[in-house]
Structure 1
Amino acid sequence: MSLPCQRLADIIGGQVITSTPVCVVQSLRNIDATILGRRTRSPLALPFALSFENNIGGKTLNLGETVILQSEINRFMTALRRRGITITAVHNHWLFDNPRLMYMHWEDVGDPVAFAEDSYDAAREAGLLK
């Protein structure tokens, strides 16, 4: 991908997880959570993550995933849809978590900067990120 992955990480206030073969950027949600009674700060449990790949003519396959509380789902889904982004899944990952951690996935093909900005702006609008 010709666009520097760090620029996309900066948009969400996160870090580059990997830049090849796929650019993956991530920040962690600030949720006080436990799994099996143990506090977790794992990036597997608390991600706000985006990936960008297959840049053809400036358009990439853009994917997003975040941990989300049940009370945040409708607000975030509405904010993403308002920006023309397709939501592909809402589900759980863990058993015995507290609070109940859900995960939302979204996608598009297009400008990676616009996707990062739209994803971040939707998350801020819904109260997921500051």
Structure 2
Amino acid sequence: MKRFTTSLLLASILSIPGFARAADIDWGKVDAAFGKTAAVSGGVHRYGLPRSDLKVTLEGVTIKPALALGGWVAFAPMHGEAMLMGDLVLLETEITPVMTKLLDAGLDVTALHNHILRATPATFYMHVGGHGDPAKMAEIIHAALSTSSKTPFDPPPASPAPQAPIELDTGKLDEALGVKGVANGGVYQFNVPRRDPITEEGMTVNAALGGANAINFQPTGGGKAAITGDFLVTGDEVNPLIRALRAGDIEVTAIHSHMLNENPRLFFIHFWANDDAQKLARNVRGALEKTAIAKN
């Protein structure tokens, strides 16, 4: 089987005759492989794979999938084929079977780590990458997850239920973070892009591919919220950021990479707190100011 590797050189791709243009990719076949329609942003086709089958709790908080269990796979068109990036949410017992099937089928695993601590059951996050026919890569991921984990592939309902109200003053959270958040599955989410572009194998890694700071707020009552997500920083920003987080009583839960060949080299800082939502938003913004974020 052809190896779908992120290390393919662009020159070799361009030298192969007969490649279709990116616009000629049959995205319907990719949708069919996952049993759902992608969310499309900036040409990137992203498929959500939330672990709605799991009941994960941490310090009395039942974690909603949109807070910290939101697996995903995204494809960016690249010279008639596609670059794959994704983040799969797995139980400990699912890690090795899923990894083995992905590797045997030619996909790459680019990271494996936790996001939060002390949760029951423990969950882990496997980042995957590849390059090739997006429909074939989608079939590989579907087969690996459906035979080695309980990841649901149910399509969204034909008439989605209205968003439940977020029991927080979201206007004040927007003001504190300096960006507009969006409600998703009972969680208020922020994406804060970095100032300078990120590239991998010559492709721009945008927010749909995981190239932005992600900050999530889940209401826990009385104006409080559980927060988690990840900051995206360069090496020299790691310690200024985590010092700012600790000064704001925000726990640092993981420091690691997600990609292998990105430029500039980046690290992802995961975090957790359950406290007054507006205070946390101000402290998160203070931490973000220690990094090169885009300014409005």
Normalised by the length of structure 1, the TM-score is: 0.85
Residue ranges of structure 1 left out of the alignment (5+ in a row): none
**Matching residue of 1:26:** 191
**Matching residue of 2:181:** 16
The structure 1 residue matched to 2:258, chosen from 84, 93, 102, is 93
* TM-superposition CA deviations, 1:24-60 (whole Å, max 9, x none): 1222111232111223333443322221114223322
The structure 2 residue matched to 1:73, chosen from 228, 238, 247, is 238
* TM-superposition CA deviations, 1:79-115 (whole Å, max 9, x none): 1111221101111111211111211111111111111
Distance 2:258 2:282 in 1: 26
| Counterpart residue identity of residue 85, structure 1 | I
| Counterpart residue identity of residue 61, structure 1 | A
Q: CA deviation at 1:7?
A: 3.0
Determine if contact 1:8/1:116 at 8 Å carries over to the other structure.
yes
Residue ranges of structure 2 left out of the alignment (5+ in a row): 1-165
| Counterpart residue identity of residue 247, structure 2 | R
Higher relative CO (Cα under 8 Å, sequence separation at least 6) belongs to 1
Bigger radius of gyration, 1 or 2?
2
Distance 2:207 2:168 in 1: 28
Range with bigger deviation, 39-48 or 63-72: 39-48
Paired-residue identity, %: 26
* TM-superposition CA deviations, 1:49-81 (whole Å, max 9, x none): 221114223322112411111110011111111
- Structure with greater strand share of residues: 1
Distance 2:245 2:229 in 1: 11
1:96-115 to structure 2, matched below 5 A, reads 96-115=261-280
Secondary structure at the residue paired with 2:245?
A: helix
Distance 1:55 1:44 in 2: 29
| Counterpart residue identity of residue 75, structure 1 | P
Cα distance, 1:58–1:39 mapped onto 2, change above 3 Å: closer
Secondary structure at the residue paired with 1:15?
A: coil
| Counterpart residue identity of residue 30, structure 1 | R
Secondary structure at the residue paired with 2:181?
A: strand
> When the two structures are aligned, how many residues end up with a matched partner?
129
Q: CA deviation at 1:19?
A: 4.5
Distance 1:84 1:57 in 2: 19
